[in-house]
Amino acid sequence: MSVEVTRLPSGLSVVTDQMPHLETASLGVWVGSGSRDEQHDEHGISHLLEHMAFKGTSRRTARQIAEEIEAVGGDLNAATSVETTAYYARVLKADVALALDVLSDILADPTFDNEELRREQNVIVQEIGATEDTPDDLVFERLQEKAFPGQPVGRTILGTPDTVRSFNPARLRGYLARNYRGPDMVVAAAGAVDHAHVVAEVERRFASFNGPAAPLPQAARFGGGAHVESRDLEQAHLAVALEGVPQRDETLYSLQVYTSVLGGGMSSRLFQEVREKRGLCYAIHAFHVPYTDTGLFALYAGTDGADAPELMQVVIDQIAAATENLNEAEVARTKAQMKAGLLMALESSEARIGQLARQMLAWGRPIPLQEIVAKIDAVTVESARAAGRAVIGRGRPAIAALGAGSGLESAAAIAESLWRQAA
């Protein structure tokens, strides 16, 4: 197996996958800290910190950070999620040390210059405004808020204009010191990399990330309920969620199969029944997002407001029916799709480092492909049905609906019936 792992004395893990056929390397730093790790007065600080890491260090200006990577043909990026923040680069194999130097520099020695901070706060406020103007993004923010009300895990990752503008350099340094610690960090590299070389560079450049693991975030509590928002839109945007399962739950793969059969692609039940047979929408899909201590089983559809009640009734009927008559052919097709997706990820060094880093954060080890395939193969028709029944019976759904017309209220009421029927 080409995957190697080293744990440094600080607790930081280094995981690599050498892919000899590649001339490039992807490298990244994953931190087990995201928006749900924010305190009540820190809404949006995780995402702001991700932006500010690129805005200058004592050794490099913001422009020099970008130019040094792009001067060798590489690229540099980052992303914040509910539970993680990632900083990553892709370069030629000769420039691995440079990429690690830049990544360590922006995290270990950011200057958080006041003028740069002011500008980046304005940029993020514009980003928040863009989300408000994008209803198929906004509906998921409203859904998350209803699913986990009054909790960091249910808040938007971006924050609000007021909270984003409230942060100063001292607050950023405090959050960085509290959450960016060796035991909660993984450096992942894949492609044209040498494990010993990567470890040596990381050991030298990331030595300042030490200390005990960061405090655990507030435990998630699924809420539920409906949010119906009237907006002057051409389409109605509908999203429904039920409590899913955590990353390490033994039923995870059975639920993933149930979810995919229901709404995972063009051959899924929802796509065929709602779009192909009835023409009620252009886009419809279902998905499951596992977190450390909970999960989110959800579906989305965009439709004409007048068609929203009919669409929702069909959706609810399909959710229930799949728990009773999901069949062997559907399960076999979905399992094949899942295994193909795993293999396709192995062909991309960037996808591979994300896969390895997430496994290290969730399981403390890289999961061999054969082990994942075995868990997928172990899913049966009955285990997939049972996973669906468990989700439906877990509690009241969360519902978010944006658009015009009285049909949204009716659609929300129909979605609520899913819980009443299960109860």
Catalytic residue numbers?
50
Q: Tell me the CA end-to-end span of the chain in Å, nearest whole number.
A: 48
Are 332 and 377 in contact by the 8 Å Cβ rule? The answer is no
Find tokens 């399960």 and name the residue: 331
The span from the CA of 295 to the CA of 269, in Å, is 22
- Sequence-separated (6 or more) residues with CB below 8 Å from residue 248: 362, 363
DSSP letter string, 211-268: SSPPPPPPPP----EEEEEE---SSEEEEEEEE---TT-TTHHHHHHHHHHHHSSTTS
| CB burial string 25-56: b at 16+ within 10 A, e below | bbbbbbbbbbbbbbeeebbbbbbbbbbbbbbb
Nearest to 398 by CA among 141, 30, 34: 141
- Token couple for 170: 């001292």
E-assigned strands of 291-397?
A: 295-303
Nearest to 361 by CA among 85, 108, 144: 85
